[in-house]
Structure 1
Amino acid sequence: MVIITACSGQPPKKPDHPAPTPRGTLDLKQYIAEFTSGMGPRSGYRAPTGPQQRAVADGVGLFLDGRRAQAGQRLADVGFRIRTLTDQVTGRRYAELADAADTGTATRGWGRVYVDLTAPSRWSVQVPHPVADAHSEDLGVAILRGTPGGVLVLAGAHRAAGQGLAADVAHRRDTVFHAVCDALLKRRLPGVQVHGFADDSVPGYDAVTSTGAGNRGRATGRAVADALDDSGIDACRAWARDCPLEGRTNMQGRAAAAAGVPFLHIEFSRDIRGSSKRISRAADAARTATAAWSTTRQ
């Protein structure tokens, strides 16, 4: 290690927007799979305090606003750091905002955020139940890869971890996941949240498409549902008929409805999530929404 000190007696001036610490080239799907492989239903989650939630959300918001030095400082207050990586599949560079100690007994389960650095941030894909909804994290990566300008919000613990369902982030507001999604809403970024269900939970359908508690995402929801049908994935449309798992009580969906920002809640069967080919088809259908969002400001 080389340490450089200023000879003038004045501290060296920090750049206004220093680049995040670099990482190598890797397969983003495999990299995230390695992270989620350690998640279990009985460990790996510590409920954050309100100030801790706000610190991570503030850091994410500052990063999206281009204030990267301030973002790094704010995140460091709660043990988070910023790194960059290049996905070898797409060639795109992503910033990873994550807990600096995310393995072993130090794991707090607060999750990670991946920001596409190759285009302005325009939309998000949210994965609240990795592992618990098997391979939903793979689907999240596939959607992120599909359209430039995406932000992936990945929960950091199994939904059954912690006490009293404290880590079931889709149904709670007192989590880092929700605070980060709220920061995205403040910047008017629409989002698609992916979930999973057992094959026999929704007979006759492979997916359930919904706009959650609101209806601002109705047009893009219809387009996604049509694209799913066209790809051989039969979608139940919650705005047109009674469907199970409509996500009306989803907390991120409620917040999006209150903010007037489009939100899609999509459930996929285990059969879809268990096939790389069908995950790719589902992600292609979701691109119907993300591609439209990438060219508009809400």
Structure 2
Amino acid sequence: MSLAMAGCRLSTSGGDVTAHPKSPELVDFDRRVVDYARRAAERAPYTPPSAADRARLALGVGSLLDGDRSGAERLLAAVGFRVTRLTDAVSGRRYDEVAAREQGPEARWGRLYVSAGAAVRWSVQVPHPVSDRDTEALGAHLMEGTPHGALVLAGAHRTAGRGDAADVAHRTDSAFHAIVLELQKRDLPGIQLHGFAKNGSRPYDAILSTGAARTASRDATALADLMEGRALRVCRGWSAPCPLEGATNAQGRSAQRRGTPFLHVELAPRTRADTPAADRAQAALATLLATWSDADRP
């Protein structure tokens, strides 16, 4: 597997760059993530952030990833966002949440969650909450189950904007894309979760691809092997003519240009819902994330 990728570390010493909020929130992390993501079902109007707002948001996220919490808070405040330190009531794990401060248009730009006070070594991305049912819950479970991660969530239903404005997997003018780019700049591998309806032409449990790339990475092959080893039927987009290969995915294209590992993962309903097959799919994904989390990264 591809283990030699440079990590991004949140500073754990020096000055005020790691200052914790005075009153960290004790939360049910899984519920917090899922409740936010499922607001997309309301299909509230969506307007993309301006280029200036995307740039400020990216700078703020970059500062947070680089350990400058104070700088991140200043930059993010300029676009109506804040950083909140969360502690999960069950596991005790800490996360930093980047989210809109008010319930205005910014609230539908999405959110970022990162493991707090430690290296960030991978991301899981959820571009179509509600529309791709249960991908938001799977993203939260993967974030909870493996350290050193980042979870990027879209905040609007993919049909909420004018035309395809809210379909962030195929747009470059979204907060979602700006955040993913900041992660890719640091060579952090990412998994993007999607869902499809299983039918005669799609008899698979999972369709895996490397997005815009047409060749298999070791990580992609490893994930396919992990899933098939758990009795899941997988279509490998790099060696077979699979549907839904994500060749036009905006984040996949940017990953290809940068040479950043990116996996486009399409899951059938039974591998997303509360089923044994979903448990097996999650276990396979978590195993790959663990290799990224445990890598000895320069």
Q: Is the 8 A contact 1:217 1:262 kept in 2?
A: no
* Per-residue deviation, 1:216: 7.6
Query: Is 2:168 the partner of 1:169?
Result: yes
* Per-residue deviation, 1:143: 1.7
Question: Where does the alignment leave 5 or more consecutive residues of structure 1 unmatched?
Answer: 1-13
Which amino acid is 2:150 matched to?
Answer: V
Question: Where does the alignment leave 5 or more consecutive residues of structure 2 unmatched?
Answer: 1-14
| Aligned counterpart, 2:11 | none
CA distance in 1, matches of 2:93, 2:275: 21
User: Aligned-residue CA RMSD in angstroms?
Assistant: 2.0
Q: Is the 8 A contact 1:62 1:68 kept in 2?
A: yes
Which amino acid is 1:34 matched to?
Answer: D
* Per-residue deviation, 1:277: 4.1
- Compared with structure 1, are the counterparts of its residues 194 and 88 closer, same or farther at alpha carbon in structure 2 (3 Å cutoff)? same
| Aligned counterpart, 2:133 | 134
Which amino acid is 1:120 matched to?
Answer: A
CA distance in 2, matches of 1:115, 1:207: 26
- Counting only pairs closer than 5 Å after superposition, residues 257-268 of structure 1 correspond to structure 2 as 257-268=256-267
| Aligned counterpart, 2:10 | none
* Per-residue deviation, 1:43: 1.8
* Per-residue deviation, 1:27: 2.2
| Aligned counterpart, 2:77 | 76
CA distance in 2, matches of 1:275, 1:65: 37
* Per-residue deviation, 1:281: 2.2
| Aligned counterpart, 1:241 | 240
Q: Is the 8 A contact 1:128 1:169 kept in 2?
A: yes
Aligned length in residues: 283
- Compared with structure 1, are the counterparts of its residues 119 and 268 closer, same or farther at alpha carbon in structure 2 (3 Å cutoff)? same
Query: Is 2:174 the partner of 1:186?
Result: no
- Counting only pairs closer than 5 Å after superposition, residues 148-159 of structure 1 correspond to structure 2 as 148-159=147-158
Identity over the aligned pairs, expressed in percent?
45
Three-state SS of the structure 2 residue aligned to 1:153 is: strand
CA distance in 1, matches of 2:50, 2:192: 24
| Aligned counterpart, 2:229 | 230
| Aligned counterpart, 2:91 | 90
CA distance in 1, matches of 2:230, 2:105: 43
* Per-residue deviation, 1:118: 5.2
| Aligned counterpart, 1:61 | 62
Q: Taking structure 1 as the reference length, what is the TM-score of the superposition?
A: 0.89
| Aligned counterpart, 1:218 | 217
Which fold has the larger relative contact order, with Cα–Cα distance below 8 Å and residues 6 or more apart in sequence?
A: 2
CA distance in 2, matches of 1:248, 1:205: 18
CA distance in 1, matches of 2:161, 2:150: 26
Q: Is the 8 A contact 2:37 2:154 kept in 1?
A: no
Three-state SS of the structure 1 residue aligned to 2:265 is: strand
* Per-residue deviation, 1:33: 2.0
- Compared with structure 1, are the counterparts of its residues 290 and 217 closer, same or farther at alpha carbon in structure 2 (3 Å cutoff)? farther
CA distance in 2, matches of 1:118, 1:235: 36
- Compared with structure 1, are the counterparts of its residues 41 and 214 closer, same or farther at alpha carbon in structure 2 (3 Å cutoff)? farther
| Aligned counterpart, 1:280 | 279
Which amino acid is 2:174 matched to?
Answer: T
Which amino acid is 2:19 matched to?
Answer: P
